[in-house]
Amino acid sequence: MLLDDLIGAFIQNLRFQRGYSEHTIRNYRIDLRQFQAFLSEKDGELREDSHGPQLDTIDFKLFREYLGRLFSRYKRKTIARKLSAIRSFFNFLEKKGLVAGNPAADISTPKQEKYDPPFLPIDEMFRLLERPDRSKPLGLRDLAILEVFYSCGIRVSELEGLNLSGIDFEQRLIKVMGKGKKERIIPIGKSALKAVRDYMDAVIPLREKTHGSSPEGPLFLNVRGGRLSTRGIYNVVRKYAKEGLLSGDISPHALRHTFATHLLDGGADLRAVQELLGHVSLSTTQKYTHVSMDRLMEVYDKAHPRSK
């Protein structure tokens, strides 16, 4: 099989056998195509059979060279993901009996920089929610997006995949498909529900034109009536953050962190926040909540007579 075909087979395995999210699949495909382009470049020209890079050209030394190139262009977190994609790809090939071993197995993942996702203080979060123009359907859509992020703390891929059937207005719940195709039920606030309802009412003609009355149609639409993409959602958040002159690099992930931090500041239990965020490990949740813990330590040090 050609390398193109092998990458395609691996992507299908991720989607149908391993249940990876479309966001992860998209990134892995990009990472593997980038590695493939590197191999072609190393050959200088495609081989005489015009089939491109071959598996027998790939060894540990080549991986080391590729890793050096990545370090000159990307942050360590991105490099770690790209290496993970390649490592998983060769594990797949090894299990299929197409390679004798995994030449990427002994490549160490770069040590990660300590990264604390930015979050918005309550007043800035409220200021962000005031930015969309409620007199226009696009403004109502954008407001609903921001409200759902802040109300539910879901991932950008989960918001992208939200369907009409995933909203229960009576029970005030939403159903999302998380990592590994795991379904999660999350409470949603009244303000977010109102924003979603106002948006749905405003785009009835567009929705009927593109999706009819199907409850499995996407909740958030682009201007053509298709499902709003991850990139489109990022653009929405960054647009209003820029307009509002908000601090930090505000992204959908920052709104997820804002959700978790404000819950903990309000007295929520850490394990409850873990469930809401859909984390398997409590330590992952703690990464999102460092600000709250720092604040608790500050209060403790100031208030307790034996803290020093």
The residues carrying an active-site annotation are: 155, 179, 253, 256, 279, 288
Q: What is the DSSP letter of 120?
A: -
Tell me how far the alpha carbon of residue 133 is from its chain's centroid.
26
Q: Which of 72, 96, 88, 100 is nearest to 18 (CA)?
A: 88
Give CA–CA dist 191/144, Å, rounded: 9
- Residues constituting the chain: 308
Question: What are the distances in angstroms from CA 127 to CA 60, 140, 165, 236, 277?
Answer: 52, 16, 30, 15, 24
- Alpha helical stretches, state H, the chain: 3-16, 22-43, 60-71, 76-95, 122-129, 137-152, 156-160, 190-202, 204-210, 230-243, 252-265, 270-277, 282-288, 290-303
